[in-house]
Chain A
Amino acid sequence: MKLITAIVKPPRLDDIKRALQEIGVAGMTVSEVSGFGRQKGHTEIYRGAEYVVDLIPKIRIEVISDDAEVAHIVETITKAANTGAIGDGKIWVTPIDSVVRVRTGERNGEAI
């Protein structure tokens, strides 16, 4: 089992959600985060003072899946999230030790 974490641009969320549902992904967790990558930010002037704006709002999407589905899910998210512009985001995969469905107590494979 793997945890797929994707940091994407907020406007892309709807398309990503739809694309994932189309390939049969049954659940996800979405949160609002801020961050920056290699390109850092830019300088803005506000009311006569200069500011470096580096923390940009992003959306974090977390999906749990069987090992077999990981590549397909990552590819789906990448396609839906891509705009070609700076700040499109990143996706990483981490291993999961165990999963439990709270309502029924089902474990691991049956809980995904």
Chain B
Amino acid sequence: MSSVNNLVNGADTAWLLISGALVLFMTPGLALFYGGMVRAKSTLNIMMMSFSAMGVTTIIWVLYGYSISFGKDVAGIIGDLSHLGLGNTLDATVGSEGHQVPTLAFAMFQLTFAIITIALLSGAIADRVKFSSWLVFVAAWVTLVYSPIAHWVFGGGWIMTKIGALDFAGGTVVEINSGASALALALVIGKRIGFKRDQMRPHNLPLVLLGAGILWFGWFGFNGGSALTSGALASTALINTQIAASAAAMTWLLTEKIRDGKATTLGIASGAVAGMVAITPACGFVNPLGALIIGLISGALSAWAVALKYKFNYDDSLDVVGVHGVSGLFGMLAIGILGTTTANAMGADGLFMNGGTALLEKQMIASVAVGLFAFTATYLIASFIEKTIGFRSSPDDEATGLDQTYHAETAYDFSSISIR
């Protein structure tokens, strides 16, 4: 192992290790963000879905998940089993010339991406699925949906090698993937009882803001860490993230004010997230002004998009489709327009940067391929679980509240009267 330490770049390794911690922190942050958005009676359950995602995904990752995502490529589709049980990693390094990092640091970093992606899906089916079935779904989805897509885009699979689309930190792997999968889940599971009829407002907006703040903080690791180096590229990605988040937060507020009459805290939190979603694939491929444009547009775009679920009658409860799906797709395509090699010589020039339409076409192909696969595979997995062990909660359980039913707990035990 001492030989590894001679090979690695210390600064790059330090930043990657920190980034792993930052991105992991995003999942408890997501738990708080989602937790505040649901009704009080099922706060704990939605948070459990995120925390249990951390548990299950990590176990899968070490057993075989890392291997099939980042192992030696097999036909462009999947990685091999050379890293089963995280084998062949203790003495190994990855990275470009002069920028090697320990493989385990890289494996940890990628694990945190897998965790947050599956945790995001819980938002589409809040308040109405069985916890045990969720655990089974996490295992199946990480294995059959996340790992292949991660391999295609990050791990040397066909989208990376044959299409050559640009995705810096996971516009496809995390954002379009979670958005499309969330839509499939929402359709299979069905709407909450009382959807569109009852008021289902966030019960704890300070929690939402706290969660959003943690996501914002952690996202610097998500995007900055994806540079896999500690230097100019990470700096570009980091500040682009900040710019996009801030711009999107403000345009979401503006959209709300015009459409609904009020600028809300839920709006500013969601706007910042939407901006960061959109810049996720682009942060290392555009310049700061490009990031500003992406932020300004994605905030308004997702603010408008989250209302579509009422028009089309699907219950994407916590707006995974409208925020992650829509802004993720926008971000991927925006690279095709605003990408510039001045920001990253390893990138490419987009349509407005005299690059023609070549890059935009690649972005579209990658986005559509990931979206279609994610939607279809998730639809099949969720349907299978629903038909075998059941996925949707019973109407009684849903009405009572999942915290009491599945966890025998209540989030807020303030009353001196013993609750149920």
Count A-side interface residues using an 8 Å CB cutoff: 7
Q: Contacts of A49 on B, CB cut-off 8 Å?
A: 196, 307, 310
Q: Is B199 an interface residue (CB 8 A)?
A: yes
* C-alpha gap A45/B199 in the complex (Å): 11
In the complex, whether B201 has a CB less than 8 A from a CB of chain A is yes
Report Cα–Cα, A48/B201, bound state, in Å.
Answer: 12
CB closest residue in chain A, given B311: A48
A49 to B309, CA, bound (A): 10
> Chain B residues near A53 (CB, 8 Å)?
199
B266 engages A47 (CB within 8 Å): yes
Chain B CB within 10 Å — which of A45, A46, A47, A49 has the most?
A: A47
A92 interface contact, C-beta 8 A: no
Chain B interface bracket (under 10, 10 to 19, 20 to 34, 35 or more)? 10 to 19
Q: DSSP class of A's interface residues: helix, strand, loop or mixed?
A: strand
Chain A residues near B199 (CB, 8 Å)?
51, 53
Nearest-neighbour CB distance to chain A for B263, whole angstroms, equals 12
Interface 1/0 per residue, B306-331 and A, CB below 8 Å? 11001000000000000000000000
Give the complex CA separation of A45 and B261 in angstroms. Answer: 8
Q: Could you say which residues of chain B place their CB within 8 Å of the CB of A47?
A: 256, 260, 264, 266-267, 306-307
A-facing residues in B179-215 (Cβ within 8 Å): 196, 199, 201
Docked complex: B278-309 residues within 8 A CB-CB of A:
306-307
Question: Contact between A48 and B310 (Cβ–Cβ < 8 Å)?
Answer: yes
* In the bound complex, CA of A49 to CA of B261 (Å): 12
Q: Does B407 sit at the interface, judged by CB under 8 A?
A: no
A48 to B266 alpha-carbon distance, docked (Å): 12
Q: Taking CB as reference atom, which chain A residue is nearest B305?
A: A48
- Chain A residue contacts of B162, Cβ below 8 A: none
Instruction: Give the contacts of B228-281 with A (CB-CB under 8 A).
Output: 256, 259-261, 264, 266-267
In the complex, what distance in Å separates the CA atom of A46 from the CA atom of B37? 13
Q: B201 touching A46 by the CB < 8 A rule? A: yes
Q: Which A residues lie within 8 Å of B310 (CB)?
A: 48-49
Complex-state Cα separation, A48 to B307, whole angstroms: 5
Interfacial residues, chain B to chain A (CB-CB below 8 A):
196, 199, 201, 256, 259-261, 264, 266-267, 306-307, 310
Given contacts A45-B260, A46-B260, 5 further A-B contacts (CB under 8 A): A45-B259, A47-B256, A47-B306, A48-B310, A49-B307
A-B contact pairs, 21 of them (CB 8 A): A45-B259, A45-B260, A45-B261, A46-B201, A46-B260, A46-B264, A47-B256, A47-B260, A47-B264, A47-B266, A47-B267, A47-B306, A47-B307, A48-B260, A48-B306, A48-B307, A48-B310, A49-B196, A49-B307, A49-B310, A53-B199
Ranked 6 nearest A-B pairs via Cβ: A48-B307, A45-B260, A51-B199, A49-B310, A48-B306, A47-B306
